[in-house]
Amino acid sequence: MKKYDQHYPFTLPALPYEYEALEPYLDSATLHYHHDKHLATYLANLNKILEANPELQKYSLVELLVNIDSIKPEVKTGLKNNAGGVFNHIMYFDLLSPVIEEVPAKLVEAFGSKEALLEKIKKVALGTFGSGFAWLVKKDGVYDVISLPNQDNPLSLGYTPLLPVDVWEHAYYLGYQNKRGDYLDNLFKIINWKEVAKNI
């Protein structure tokens, strides 16, 4: 998880591809809003919280998320939402790619087939009510797909996060309106499985 593990003060990483690179599956306007506005806001809010709570500045993003339950109650929710918002989005953008990649054999084996894996992710993503993510995760050597609300992060529940699938409406509404299933089908065409494989 080192790649997503920054320290305060957090800075906005550039997208690892051009804004137009994922078209027609994900349009550049969505990426501009999602990366430049939504992620940037989570990041600014995270820095603001840590600025006001200097005793927490020594913790990395992963440490904050793993230990979220031990954070003092008055900042816990803000930190959960914004540290989560930063981690989840950096990982989400990082795991998309204009290059078609093979699903790692380990995952194909664990879920039975590539189709079964994608079907499972889609089912969990469609079943996520309101705002949240479907997460491909690993715990004690076992792979699973779980649904988490808002910007909650698998690290806070003892899982290793492998792939976040953002199903907040801001992730797809400009291009797909209410058609979450179409967004998911197209998102599956631009998953950077090569990067996913680095954490499995």
Nearest-CA neighbor of 92 among 42, 167, 148, 157? Answer: 167
Considering beta carbons, is residue 35 or 122 the nearer one to Mn ion? 35
Query: x/- string (CB under 5 A) for Mn ion, residues 170-189?
Result: -x------------------
HSE at residue 195, side-chain half, CA atoms within 13 A, is 21
94 binds Mn ion (CB under 5 A): no
Q: In angstroms, what is the minimal distance from the CB of 46 to Mn ion?
A: 15
166 binds Mn ion (CB under 5 A): yes
133 binds Mn ion (CB under 5 A): no
Q: Which residue is nearest to Mn ion (CB)?
A: 166
CB 101 within 8 A of CB 194: yes
Non-local (6+) Cβ contacts of 152 within 8 A are 80, 84, 132, 133
**What is the C-alpha to C-alpha distance for residues 6 and 26, in angstroms, rounded to an integer?**
27
Amino acid occupying residue 58? K
Pairing between strand 142-149 and 160-166? unpaired
Q: In angstroms, what is the minimal distance from the CB of 57 to Mn ion?
A: 25
Q: In angstroms, what is the minimal distance from the CB of 183 to Mn ion?
A: 12
Nearest-CA neighbor of 10 among 55, 37, 41? Answer: 41
**What is the C-alpha to C-alpha distance for residues 176 and 185, in angstroms, rounded to an integer?**
11
Q: In angstroms, what is the minimal distance from the CB of 151 to Mn ion?
A: 8
Stretch that binds Mn ion, among 16-24, 140-148, 169-177, 187-195 (CB under 5 A): 169-177
Amino acid occupying residue 154? P
Considering beta carbons, is residue 35 or 59 the nearer one to Mn ion? 35
What's the N-to-C CA distance of the chain in angstroms?
Answer: 11
111 binds Mn ion (CB under 5 A): no
Considering beta carbons, is residue 8 or 168 the nearer one to Mn ion? 168
168 binds Mn ion (CB under 5 A): yes
Considering beta carbons, is residue 19 or 197 the nearer one to Mn ion? 19
Considering beta carbons, is residue 8 or 172 the nearer one to Mn ion? 172
Binding site for Mn ion (CB under 5 A): 166, 168, 171
